Amino acid sequence: MKGAPDWVLVGMVKRIHGRDGEILIMPLTDREERFAPGSELYLSRKRQDTRERVKVAASRPSDRGPLIKLEGYGTREEADALFGASLFVPAEAITPPQPGSYYPFELGGLDVYSGDERVGIVAGLKESRKANPYLEVDPGGGEPMVLIPFVSQVVLSIDRECERIDIIPGFLG
Q: Which domains does the chain have, with CATH numbers?
A: 7-93 (2.40.30.60), 104-167 (2.30.30.240)
User: What does pLDDT average to over the chain?
Assistant: 91
Specify the DSSP class assigned to residue 93: G
What is the percentage of the chain residues whose pLDDT exceeds 90? 68
For residue 8, list its beta bridge partners. Answer: 89
Ranges assigned E (strand) in the chain? 7-17, 22-27, 40-44, 52-60, 67-70, 86-90, 111-114, 117-126, 134-138, 146-149, 155-159, 164-167
The C-alpha atoms of residue 53 and residue 105 are separated, in whole angstroms, by 22
pTM score: 0.66
If pLDDT is split at 50, 70 and 90, which confidence band does 42 have? Answer: very high
Identity (one letter) of the amino acid at 118? Answer: R
The C-alpha atoms of residue 32 and residue 147 are separated, in whole angstroms, by 28
The C-alpha atoms of residue 70 and residue 72 are separated, in whole angstroms, by 6
pLDDT tens readout for residues 70-97: 999 999 999 999 999 999 999 888 888 7
pLDDT tens readout for residues 97-120: 778 788 788 899 999 999 999 999
For residue 147, list its beta bridge partners. Answer: 136
The C-alpha atoms of residue 69 and residue 36 are separated, in whole angstroms, by 10
CA distances from 145 to 33, 45, 119, 135, 160 (A): 35, 28, 11, 10, 22
